Structure 1
Amino acid sequence: MPAARTVRNTHHRIVAAPAETVGALVDRLSAPDDPLFPTPVWPAMVLDRPLAVGADGGHGSIRYRVTAHEPGRSVRFDMNEGGLGSGYHRLDVEPLGPDRCRVSHTLAVAMDARSRALFKLAIEPVHDTMVEEIFDNVERAALGALPHRPARRPPRARLVNRLFWARPRAVPVPAAASLLREALPRPDFTDAWHMPLKPGMPRDPRAWRNVLPFPVRGTAERELMLGEDASHLDFRASVVIDDEGVTLATAVRFHHVLGRAYFVPVRLVHPPLVRLILQREHRRLAYATPPAGVRNRTPSAPTSAPTD
């Protein structure tokens, strides 16, 4: 087997803000108010403790641990064994004067030929996009505005994002779906599909109004119910938000034998169709969410309107 070779990938950006301001943002990586990691479009950085040497975690399938941290200046993450390869990535802030600094991200990983091919084909476009979006969030959070157009998401990065987006999983109808249960107390068919909510995604069920093209039949603090009645059956669907995420639950009540006959083929296509609909709306709302650098920006940053 050919020996592993080190793949290096570096990004730099000059930011018109003091290094102390930018360094304070870096120190909030993985915190609940993380202003830099580009969620919810990309997976959040999650560590098992606040950012410090020894913290373990990662983002998505990429796993690592903090091996060096100079508060306000740099942090290094070493890759866990069994992943893409052996190496690290790090984020550094270098002062360039009282009101300017350089932010750098360096990736150095020893990979075998197979891992290098995978990196070039699918991982590098996503990695490059995420790093540039981190830099965008640095400027948004430190300056209160982005002084240029946002980083572009190339086609391969968007494709990988779409292919690896989270998929709904089957769950029982939530107990919190009270509107649904009251509307159809004895349904002939029910199902429910759940997806976790990424940081920043809307927790108001009314934001999910467009998940299905049916009239609104009821609203509650954590539930939005849609539905329609027909001569052969009644249909209701509820979007339920809880601490774990969002659930799309449906219930159907048949009026007579024609309703049952109609639903025989519908039952076959309903589950994959509902999963697809929920996944698409989940992704659409993630893309519509304000960037982390806007949501969690430095409180003292200027408030000029961003250009993006």
Structure 2
Amino acid sequence: MRGPRTIRNVHQRIIEAPAETVGALVDRLSAPDDPLFPTPVWPAMVLDRPLAVGADGGHGPVRYRVTAHEPGRSVRFDTDDDLGAGFHRLDVEPLGPDRCRISHVLEVAMPPVAFALFKLVVEPVHDTMIEEIFDNAERAALGSLPHPPARRSRRALLANRLRWVKPVAVPVPAEARLLRGAFERPDFTDAWRLPLAPGMPRDPRAWRHLLPFAERGAEDRELMLGEDAFHLDFRGSLVVDDESVTLATAVRLHNTYGRLYFAVVRRLHPYVVRRMMRRAHRRVAFATPPAGERNRELRTAP
């Protein structure tokens, strides 16, 4: 049986900014206002405590722990699981008073199957994410990106689409007050929820395009849309909180035709809603300003 194979993947970029400025950005990895990790297009880095030796966490399915941290200069994450054992580290090296090099090194020994999977699927995503981290460092340190943004390869985008988060069924939330008051006795209700990644909008109007119906009411965290017809009335509520967006629906049937019609539609409804929400969620994520730009706005706000 063939033994483990070692992956060594290195990215570097020179940034026309002081090492202290870029190093301070690295020290904010996993913070609520993390300026570097390329969310919400890619999974956020989540640690069980602020960045420091001993912190555990990861991003998406990738798990690791912080084993070394020199504030303003370097951080190292170690991993050891069935997919491989090794480390990745991010370093900032001064090259003068207003110039520095940021580098990322990944070195992991993997069994043959994991090695093949990495080369085929994971490496394109990894390469894209690291280059976008570097883009965000420049945006945050310089105020703008002095060159075109990193290109996302077709394989990276395919992996992104296939692994995108899926809606889960939940009870109609108590916060859907408009929807709950729309019909005294609805014949059907359901609700589907998706988590909101850092940077994604918390205003329900930002999700208005999910439903092509007229507005029927609005509150701070709820937008209700709907349509009335001779056979049924439909209402859909977009409820947004700090953690998630929920699409809750209610239907009131009027007659035999409505009951027959909805008997068919009811079977298709969950598939249509899940597909529609997942597509809209991904579209909103890709339209969200990158972390480095959001950080710049926070840093310069009065």
User: TM range, normalised to the smaller chain?
Assistant: over 0.9
> Which position in structure 2 is the counterpart of 1:122?
121
The residue identity in structure 2 corresponding to 1:250 is: T
1:253 aligned onto 2:270: no
Q: Spell out structure 1 runs of 4+ moving beyond 2 A.
A: 297-301
Task: Give matches, 1:174-213, under 5 Å.
Answer: 174-213=173-212
> Which position in structure 2 is the counterpart of 1:289?
288
> Which position in structure 2 is the counterpart of 1:304?
none
> Which position in structure 2 is the counterpart of 1:74?
74
> Which position in structure 2 is the counterpart of 1:135?
134
> Which position in structure 1 is the counterpart of 2:147?
148
Report how far residue 158 of structure 1 moved.
0.3
> Which position in structure 2 is the counterpart of 1:306?
none
Residues 170, 192 of structure 2: 8 Å contact kept: yes
> Using the alignment, how far apart are the partners of 1:113 and 1:192 within structure 2?
43
> Using the alignment, how far apart are the partners of 1:95 and 1:299 within structure 2?
25
The residue identity in structure 1 corresponding to 2:167 is: P
Residues 142, 298 of structure 1: 8 Å contact kept: no
**Structure 1: unaligned runs, 5 residues or longer:** 302-308
Report how far residue 299 of structure 1 moved.
6.2
> Which position in structure 1 is the counterpart of 2:38?
38
TM-score by length of 2: 0.98
> Using the alignment, how far apart are the partners of 2:211 and 2:51 within structure 1?
40
- CA-to-aligned-CA distance 1:33-92 (integer Å, 9 cap, x gap): 10000000000000000000000000000000000000000000001423x210000000
**Structure 2: unaligned runs, 5 residues or longer:** none
> Using the alignment, how far apart are the partners of 1:124 and 1:226 within structure 2?
43
Report how far residue 300 of structure 1 moved.
6.2
> Using the alignment, how far apart are the partners of 1:248 and 1:64 within structure 2?
34
TM-score by length of 1: 0.96
Residues 65, 80 of structure 1: 8 Å contact kept: no
Report how far residue 298 of structure 1 moved.
8.1
Report how far residue 243 of structure 1 moved.
3.2
> Using the alignment, how far apart are the partners of 1:67 and 1:222 within structure 2?
41
> Using the alignment, how far apart are the partners of 1:300 and 1:53 within structure 2?
27
> Which position in structure 2 is the counterpart of 1:60?
60
> Using the alignment, how far apart are the partners of 2:167 and 2:140 within structure 1?
32
**% same residue:** 73
1:95 aligned onto 2:91: no
Pairwise CA RMSD: 1.3
Decide which moves more: 17-26 or 208-217: 208-217
